[in-house]
Chain A
Amino acid sequence: QKEVEQNSGPLSVPEGAIASLNCTYSDRGSQSFFWYRQYSGKSPELIMSIYSNGDKEDGRFTAQLNKASQYVSLLIRDSQPSDSATYLCAVYQGAQKLVFGQGTRLTINP
């Protein structure tokens, strides 16, 4: 089992719709979770961090964490073509290192 798993996609969503990105992790003791966005040819940029169970909202983005199910997700409301990118889920393993999923490629269709 991979430490952090994401559906590689591609995930195609029409403009204005909600994009839902999912991530599962194996280390039950993980405490810190991050979503990064990476445009082609660029480096990852932080979208959100989440540490507690439940939802955390920032503008059009909502991160959801369920530690019991070892599941973290990212919702993007009112998706825009500029949201087309690869989204990386990252989890701190035992406060020792940040482990990334393979990323989900998201395409927003105008």
Chain B
Amino acid sequence: KAGVTQTPRYLIKTRGQQVTLSCSPISGHRSVSWYQQTPGQGLQFLFEYFSETQRNKGNFPGRFSGRQFSNSRSEMNVSTLELGDSALYLCASSPGVGKETQYFGPGTRLLVL
């Protein structure tokens, strides 16, 4: 089975712009979670989607949003980018929700100038 894929892998944006990141889960997986990883804060949970519904949301401002499509692919959007949004954004998929193991994609490294 192919693993989790994320596009793009690298992105450079300027403050105030917006960005959309994409994640394709492992075939058959219906849950997609997004995380932000920075050296100072570690891995922080952004949100989780299951069957096109946002199931849970982390403590991030409303500039961070996401959605999931009927084929389980997911996108996250960050509007009005700030310098502090520079991070590695990781997507993870699992078959279902709850105590399921999550498998990570390679990540999208975002640099905001």
Give chain A's interface residues, CB within 8 Å of chain B. Answer: 31-32, 34, 36, 42-46, 49, 51, 88, 92, 95-103
Interface residues of B in 82-113 (CB under 8 A from A): 88, 90, 92, 97-99, 101-107
- Report B-chain residues with C-beta under 8 Å of the C-beta of A102: 42
A selection of 5 A-B contacts at a CB cut-off of 8 Å is A32-B98, A51-B99, A92-B98, A97-B58, A98-B45
B22 at interface, CB cutoff 8 A? no
A43 adjacent to B107 (CB under 8 Å): yes
Given contacts A32-B99, A92-B98, A95-B98, contact A43 B45 (CB under 8 A): no
List 15 other contacts, CB 8 Å, given A46-B103, A99-B45: A34-B101, A43-B90, A43-B106, A44-B43, A44-B104, A46-B101, A92-B99, A95-B97, A97-B48, A98-B33, A98-B102, A100-B35, A100-B43, A102-B42, A103-B42
Interface residues on B, range: 20 to 34
Number of A-B contacts (CB under 8 A): 46
A102 and B88 alpha carbons, distance in the complex (Å): 15
Which listed residue (B42, B43, B45, B106) contacts A42, Cβ 8 A? Answer: B106
B56 at interface, CB cutoff 8 A? yes
Interface centre among B88, B92, B99 (most CB of A within 10 A): B99
A45 and B101 alpha carbons, distance in the complex (Å): 11
A98 and B90 alpha carbons, distance in the complex (Å): 13
How many Å from the CB of A93 to the closest CB on chain B?
Answer: 9
